[in-house]
Each structure stands twice: as structure tokens, then as C-alpha cells.
Amino acid sequence: MSTTTAATLIADRLAALRQAMRRHGIDAVIVPSSDPHLSEYLPPRWKGREWLSGFTGSVGTFIAMQDFAGVWTDGRYWTQAETELAGTGIALMKIASGASTEYVGWLAATLQAGQTAAVDGTVLGLAIARMLQGALDAKGVVLRTDIDLLDEVWRDRPGLPHDPVYEHAAPYAATSRHDKLAAVHAAMKEQGADRHLISTLDDIAWLFNLRGSDVNFNPVFVSHALIGPEHATLFVADGKIKPSLAARLTADGVTVAPYERAATALADLAPGTVLLLDPRRITHGTRAAVPGHVKVVEAINPTTFAKSRKTEAEAAHVRATMEQDGAALCEFFSWLEGALARRGEVPLNEVDIDRHITAARARRPGFVSPSFGTIAGFQSNGAIMHYRATEEGCAVIAGDGLLLIDSGGQYPGGTTDITRVVPVGDITAEQRRDFTLVLKGMMALSATRFPRGTKAPLLDAIARAPIWAAGVDFGHGTGHGVGFFLNVHEGPHAITPSLMPEPHTAMEPGMITSIEPGIYRPGKWGIRIENLVLNRLDLTTEFGEFLRFETLTLCPIDTRCIDRALLRDDEIAWLNDYHATVRERLAPLVTGEALAWLNERTRAL
């Protein structure tokens, strides 16, 4: 679609929205990037912000008034948003981070007493709803959460996904559904609750040992779950669970009910019921369905803690998955180096990278799908943190520079996420310096020992310190939690300054996290080096238990990009030890050119 055609389409949609606003007496409409489950990646039905604005980034809030429309998003998406919003009349509103709620203050400052703002409460997070309500109440602005204008103007709006749900079976699901439910019941009892509602899709998939394909890249399915003292109800669209699976669920005390019955089930809760809810993981609409005669206990979902702490059996599956993923990467990078050597004969572009790296993974046992959209950015495109190449706008990999590749896979035995940077032709001394600084930051955190219970955000500065020392910084967190054949971004922990160091962010054994510092020079190049790591108990002293990171990712780091003079002896030793481990574990899984590439790229410095 041409830029002009896209802009015209967006203009027509905005006009229809504004007509609907006038019919209902609404002065401002808020469309968050969200669904009734607060998912990061959205099923098509809830991509309203993208449909209205044309901005396709995964984070952003759209606001429309009669004389203004804007998208609030953070620095990872500014370049993308500027391109996609061009010609639409929609303003890019720059915010500091994806967790920012600056639009709340903007609305409160812009709207006048007596005016009305509207947002679909079924997709608005409860915590944000409370903040928005407070800010608008203070200005005398009415907030409506009972209307979804998208239903009026989006004529061909997609319905609920219909792909089947399937079991995440043994040996990968090492803990049974029965045992997980028993643990949740025990946690509910500690909170004094006899009912517990779960709406986040990864929590539900983990608890019931089920998986689906309703959301791109994340093997989850659209559903709610209501846990009682003796049984649980899973609310999911009709036809998604086959009778044989429903029978196995029934045997474990799980009843299947239609998806739309979840709100009714909450409304039907008897007086005296004590309901456990996680206020950060449900929407305003879901909370509003709970009758006033029900006592609500607000606390983090027990499943959120439990699934973040991988068992020893799960960790073993993840290690095996990393070997298969690493072998696929050996095959890919050996192909890439050959293709780069021949690029004068056959042009190579960024989309080719995505196609070939996915194909290499697909040849490995158990591969299900990518775990997110591959980022392959050459030179200036690598400086766009969430860049996505398209057939229409991708760069040809020509000349000299750096190629950043961030990719991952979903396997029944785990979820992978890795970033590597490779040299193309000749690279400069400044590029080597940046690469080495990023590597130093990654190694500094990877080698850290820290007290058990350390709040994850407090570790962020360790990776930044070598980069800060050079007067440089990067605009994203150092690391995010990763699920077990689940979401590639998983809470409650994350190594980032944008997350408050609250009790639920404490680092515990079994958690998997990414370590991915970077340096991005707009218009020039971007560098990010990323491994996944596992929290492990290291030692116990009179000062308590200490954890260390076990590096899980198995793929060489390209030493051709290193300025060796910037590395200390202990850093060189860490890198050589890592490469020796990569070679030892991957060599039995590859042959021919892939093996030759592995041996060459893991040579000691």
C-alpha cells in the first residue's frame, strides 16, 4: 500500500471515529495497545490502535479529539512511528519509556471541566484506570469506560481466534496440572481467599499445561480462569478445546465454559466470597464485574511467581533447547558468511536474514515458531531498537558496516532470544570500540555474584557501568524475564531502570533473564549483544545466600568486532571460557560448513 493510500485510509477511519464521538458526546477517545488480558502481543481483534493510526509498534497509546490525534510511544519506536504516521495528521508524542503514563497528565491538562473522555474499560489495565480516574476527577472531567467506539466504526473487525488449544505434555511439562492447581490453592488459603481470577494468558497456559496460537509468537490462547477451592473453570471460546482434552481437564477438576461467561461468573459470586485478584494483571472492566458483596484481596498472581522460577527439570529442557537453537544458528551464520562473500553476485537484504534464520530453526527438532519478529538491521537500521524489515522498505546489505540480528524461537523445551552483531566488509575503529564496550557491559553483569532476593532493577547499572565510563548510554532495559515455552517477555522481574525495585522483583533461583546492553548511534549503526541467563545458587556465607548467572545461550560472539586492547585479562578469560563451552556443546550437533564455522568463531583470543 502506498503512503498516500494509507494516509487516506487513516483519515477516513479518523473521520468515522470523530462522527461516533459526536453522536455519544465524547470529547476524547483513548485507545491503548491492550486486550482484556493485558497482552504484549495482541490478537487481531484488539489491534485498534494500529487500525486507527497505522502505527504498528507493539507499545503505544492513541488519543483522538475533534481537532487532534496523537500516538504516545517511547524511543524504541520513534523512527518507525515517524515513518508510519507521516501524512496522517497524527502527532508522534515522545515519552521516556514504554511504562510511562505521560498521556494521563496530558489529558488532565488538555480537557476542561464538564468534558468527557472515553476508553474501553475491558482493555484498560486496572492500575492505569485508577490513575486516569483520579487525574480526570480532579479536573471535573467525566471518564466513560462503558463504551467501545471501535465496534461502531470498525466494520470488519476480527472476531475471537479459533485455533485449537493443545496440551504441553510430559516430559516438557514436568509438573502436573494437578500439582500446580494444588499449589495455587495453598497460596489462596494463605491470602484467605476462596476464589482466584486469572486473566493473563501466560499464567493460564502455564497453570493448566496448555498452549495455543492465538497471539503471534507467544504460544498462548485467549481465556480467563476462575479457581475455586475444589475445582477451576476455564473460560475459552467454543470449539477450541477438543472433547478428549476436555475430558482430561475434567479429571483434574477443571470445567470448560464459554469465554463470554467469565464476567457472568464473577457477577454470580455469592455474598461472603473472598476473591484474590492481581490489580496489575486485570483490566478495569474485569474488576467492575465483581459485585460489591464480594471481598477482594489484591496481591500478585501466585502463578506469576511460580512460573518465573523454573524447576531443575525445566532448566534441563531449556539447556537442551539452547543446544538445538545454537546448532541452528551455526548453520545460519555459516550460510550468512558465505552469502556475504558472494553478495556482489547475489544481492542480500535484511528480509533474507529473517527468512533464512527462521528456516534454520525450523529444521531443528520441536521448533514451533519464532518467539518474536526477527530484527535484522544493517548499519543505520541497527540503531532502531525495534526495527522490523519489510519487503517494501528493507535495506540491501551492501558496502561496509555492522549487521545486528535479534531473533528467537519457541520450542516445547523452552523459549530462546539472542542478539548478535557481525561485521560486513571493513569496520571502523569506532565501531570496534562500541562493540567492545557493549561486550564489556554484558560480561560484567554475566559474571556478577549477588545476594538472593536482590531486586532485579538494581542490577541494571552493572551492565551500564563500562558503557557509562565512555560517556555513552542506551535507551532500553538491560534485561527481561523469559518464559518456559511461553512469553519471550515474562515478569515479574526485569533488569531495567523503568521498573521500581519492589518486593515482587526479587531475584530468585530458577529465573531466566536476558542480558542485552547496547549502543545505538542514530543514522550510523546499532550494537546489542544478548544472552539468556539462569539464576543459580552459588554460595552461602554468614551474610546469606548468593546467586550467580548460568549463561544458557550458546552461540559465538564475533571476535572480529573486538578491540582487544580494551579488554582486561579476566574479560578475555571469560570470553574464551564461554566460547570453549559453546564449541563443546554444539560440535556434536553440526557438521560440514556449520562445524567449520563454529570452530573458527570459537577460537581463543
Segment 236-265, tens digit of pLDDT:
999 999 999 999 999 999 999 999 999 999
| Mean pLDDT value of segment 557-579 | 98
Segment 105-150, tens digit of pLDDT:
999 999 999 999 999 999 999 999 999 999 999 999 999 999 999 9
Residue 1 reports pLDDT greater than 90: no
Residue spans of the domains in the chain: they are: 3-153, 166-299, 309-596
Domains 3-153 and 166-299 share a fold: yes
Q: Which CATH class is domain 3-153?
A: alpha beta
Q: What confidence tier does 20 reach under pLDDT thresholds 50, 70, 90?
A: very high
192: its cell numbers: 484467605
Segment 372-384, tens digit of pLDDT:
999 999 999 999 8
Give the integer Cα–Cα distance in Å for 468 and 263.
Answer: 50
Location of C-alpha cell 478428549 = 244
Give the integer Cα–Cα distance in Å for 5 and 300.
Answer: 46
Show contacts of 380-384: CB within 8 Å, 24+ apart: 380/522, 380/523, 380/524, 380/525, 381/350, 381/526, 382/421, 382/520, 382/525, 382/526, 382/527, 383/520, 383/521, 383/522, 383/523, 383/524, 383/525, 383/526, 384/79, 384/80, 384/520, 384/526
C-beta separation of 419 from 439 below 8 A: no
| Mean pLDDT value of segment 164-168 | 97
User: What's the helix, strand, coil split of the chain in %, to 5?
Assistant: 40, 20, 40
pLDDT score at 278: 97
pTM of the model: 0.94
Helices of type H across 98-200: 102-110, 126-139, 150-153, 177-190
Give the integer Cα–Cα distance in Å for 418 and 407.
Answer: 6
Give the CA angle between residues 37, 43, 47 to the nearest 5°: 95
Segment 337-347, tens digit of pLDDT:
999 998 767 78
C-beta separation of 480 from 489 below 8 A: yes
Segment 267-292, tens digit of pLDDT:
999 999 999 999 999 999 999 999 99
Closest CA to 253 of 231, 234, 236: 231
Which CATH code of 3.40.50.970, 3.50.30.10, 3.40.50.300, 3.90.230.10 fits the domain covering 309-596? 3.90.230.10
Decide which of 506 and 79 is more confident.
506
Residue 566 reports pLDDT greater than 80: yes
Segment 90-100, tens digit of pLDDT:
999 999 876 77
Tell me the pLDDT of the chain averaged across its residues. Answer: 95
Residue 570 reports pLDDT greater than 70: yes
pLDDT score at 99: 72
Torsions phi, psi of 39, nearest 5? -75, 150
What are the DSSP E strand ranges found in 160-280? 166-167, 195-198, 210-211, 223-227, 232-236, 254-257, 274-277
Give the integer Cα–Cα distance in Å for 164 and 172.
Answer: 20
Quick one: 166-299 is in which CATH superfamily?
Creatinase/prolidase N-terminal domain (3.40.350.10)
Cα(first)–Cα(last) distance of the chain, in Å?
49
| Mean pLDDT value of segment 500-528 | 97
pLDDT score at 89: 94
Segment 389-417, tens digit of pLDDT:
888 889 999 999 999 999 999 999 999 99
Show contacts of 567-576: CB within 8 Å, 24+ apart: 567/436, 567/439, 567/440, 567/605, 571/439, 571/440, 571/443, 572/605, 574/443, 574/446, 574/447, 575/439, 575/443, 575/605, 576/604, 576/605
Q: What confidence tier does 58 reach under pLDDT thresholds 50, 70, 90?
A: confident
Q: What confidence tier does 83 reach under pLDDT thresholds 50, 70, 90?
A: confident
